[in-house]
Structure 1
Amino acid sequence: MTYIVHGATGAQGTPVASLLSAAGHHVTAAVRTPSTYAGPGTAVAVDLSDTASLVEAYTGAEGVFVHLPIGSPDQQVAYARTIADAVDAARPGRVVLSTSGYTLDDPASAVSILAERLTASGVSSAVVQPRLYLENLLLPVVVGPVQQDGVLGYPVREDYAVSWSSHLDVADVVLRLLEDRAITGTVGVGALPGLLGSDLAEGFAEHLGRPVRFEAITPDAFEQLITPLFGPAASSVVDSYRWRATQPHELVDEETSAQRRLGITPRTVAQWLGDIGV
């Protein structure tokens, strides 16, 4: 039997596929174009707007790892419902959903709809809930000044604590949850205590062996930096940082954290940088 991995060519799915394969499991990458997949296992063509393609992929699967792709809220809700319909019909052995940094606070959001539908389906499931990804710090406009000038600029306040995690940390948790069906509900992934900007800078300094300082920048300034990279899509990213400016912190719940529920602690910033070879 196989494990279906959505986005197996992307940032979240690639480490999940690698860990599953290393643990001796067969992997089937759920992708739009199977010929482009060069990872472990095999690939199957799926279309998130086509329930039948998902049912065919999920039927007989040991487990499914899924996360919603970037899109408009309406697109994501449509994808969530298609995935849920397919799970209802195919009845895979297990489903693990990553919220990809989105919260579950809004019951009308796509991730909330999908999480609720998975629970209602009766199929064994769990939800992985990370906050901000350390990989965001690898944007050229962020990591470039770190390497050149020793300045880590990012659009969060100096006192804004975040449960940062990496895609590698999420993959560690996903593997455990796919293998252990006894664990259900939500598992938060991220650093506890939360990391400040100065903590991020210290992690870079430890890895690079030279001083790095944190500099809080405004969401508007960040928008100017990333718009050439992302085009119109930058506006929704920047809006999330405007929202963060109104919040006291962004921490996972300790009671439902991976540290408490699974005994899995996320990498430090320096460990993560070493693991990815920056």
Structure 2
Amino acid sequence: MSYIVHGATGAQGFPVLSALRAAGRQVVAAVRDTTSVPDGFESAEVDLADVDSLAAAYTGADGVFVHLPLGAPADLGRYADVVAAAVARARPRRVVISTSGQIVDQPGTPLQAAPESPIIGLIRGVEASGISTAVVAPRLYLENLLLPVVAGPVRAEGILRYPLPGAYPVSWSSHLDVADVVARLLTDVTVVGTVAVGHRPGLAGTDLADGFSAYLGTDVRYAAITPAVFGGLITPLFGAAASAGVVGLYELLNAQAGNTIAEENSAQHLLGIAPRAVADWLAQVRA
């Protein structure tokens, strides 16, 4: 029996793969290209558009971790349908889905993912199979702060520039924090539904700067910039289309009072797992 990890060579999947292995579990990296998997890890070649390849990987598995990749909504909707069909056919013991920062636990607000969105389709499709399912719901990733256009000025100028107001609270979490929760949920089937991951209370920009100050041993101050300015900084990295989506997200966030998780479905409350302090996370990733 084993645990299937999608995107196992990527930013989200590899920490899950590593956490499960550290816990002594048999893990299988589910990827399109098995040559990309680090030595020592078992792998399975899968295609998110091919139900047969997914069902073959899922059959007999104790658990499956899945998240949707970046892509066009039409493609992602098709992937969601295929994953749900494979789960229904193969009947793994457990499925854990990451929302990858999309918000699915704040209905009735502008932040909630639309009912027709691929992530909602994936969740509903897998839950309809009757398989034990948990949804891991982070908000913003601390890894965003490691982008060269963000981390560079922190070291060179002592300024952390980001497109949110300095006092704006966010339930920040890292990929490592999410992996801790995913690993627990894959092996503990008693918790179902949505488990939110992130700091409570939310961290303001000034808190992030304090974390960098503690890690670097030097003063770092926070400076809010507009989403449009941030978009200009990241366009050379991600291209105009992807950057426009990021700008739209931060414009939406700026129109809200904050981006924080609730206590009742938090990992702190449900699992007793709290996210790392910013300085501790920076030390662990050796930023």
* Fold match (TM-score > 0.5): yes
RMSD across aligned positions (CA): 0.9
What residue number does 2:284 align with? Answer: 275
Q: Indicate how the Cα distance of structure 1 residues 238 and 40 shifts in structure 2: closer, same or farther if over 3 A, else same.
A: farther
State which of 255, 258, 262 in structure 1 corresponds to 2:264.
255
What residue number does 1:101 align with? Answer: 101
Which is worse superposed, 231-240 or 83-92?
Answer: 231-240
What residue number does 2:275 align with? Answer: 266
Asked whether the equivalents of residues 167 and 206 of structure 2 are also in contact (C-alpha less than 8 Å), the reply is: no
Q: Could you tell me how far apart the structure 2 residues matched to 1:71 and 1:248 are?
A: 29
What residue number does 1:245 align with? Answer: 254
Residue 127 (str. 1) matches residue 135 (str. 2): yes
Deviation of 1:124 (Å): 0.8
Deviation of 1:117 (Å): 1.6
What residue number does 2:32 align with? Answer: 32
Deviation of 1:141 (Å): 0.3
What TM-score results when the alignment is normalised by the length of structure 1? 0.98
Q: Could you tell me how far apart the structure 2 residues matched to 1:223 and 1:48 are?
A: 30
Q: How many residues align?
A: 278
Deviation of 1:39 (Å): 5.3
What residue number does 1:21 align with? Answer: 21
Gaps of 5+ in 1: none
Q: Could you tell me how far apart the structure 1 residues matched to 2:256 and 2:25 are?
A: 41
What residue number does 2:86 align with? Answer: 86
Which is worse superposed, 199-208 or 68-77?
Answer: 68-77
What residue number does 1:201 align with? Answer: 209
What residue number does 1:57 align with? Answer: 57
Gaps of 5+ in 2: 105-111
What residue number does 1:77 align with? Answer: 77
Q: Could you tell me how far apart the structure 1 residues matched to 2:169 and 2:18 are?
A: 31
What residue number does 1:10 align with? Answer: 10
Deviation of 1:40 (Å): 4.5
**1:124 maps to amino acid:** S
| 1:105-254 equivalences in 2 (<5 Å) | 105=112, 106-232=114-240, 233-254=242-263
User: For each residue in 1:82-106, what CA deviation from the matched residue of structure 2 results, as whole angstroms up to 9, or x when unmatched?
Assistant: 1111101110111000000001232
Which is worse superposed, 69-78 or 85-94?
Answer: 69-78
What TM-score results when the alignment is normalised by the length of structure 2? 0.95
Asked whether the equivalents of residues 26 and 41 of structure 1 are also in contact (C-alpha less than 8 Å), the reply is: no
Q: Could you tell me how far apart the structure 1 residues matched to 2:27 and 2:274 are?
A: 25
User: For each residue in 1:144-193, what CA deviation from the matched residue of structure 2 results, as whole angstroms up to 9, or x when unmatched?
Assistant: 00011000000011221100000000000001100100110000000000
Which is worse superposed, 66-75 or 260-269?
Answer: 66-75
Q: Indicate how the Cα distance of structure 1 residues 40 and 177 shifts in structure 2: closer, same or farther if over 3 A, else same.
A: farther
Q: Could you tell me how far apart the structure 2 residues matched to 1:205 and 1:29 are?
A: 37
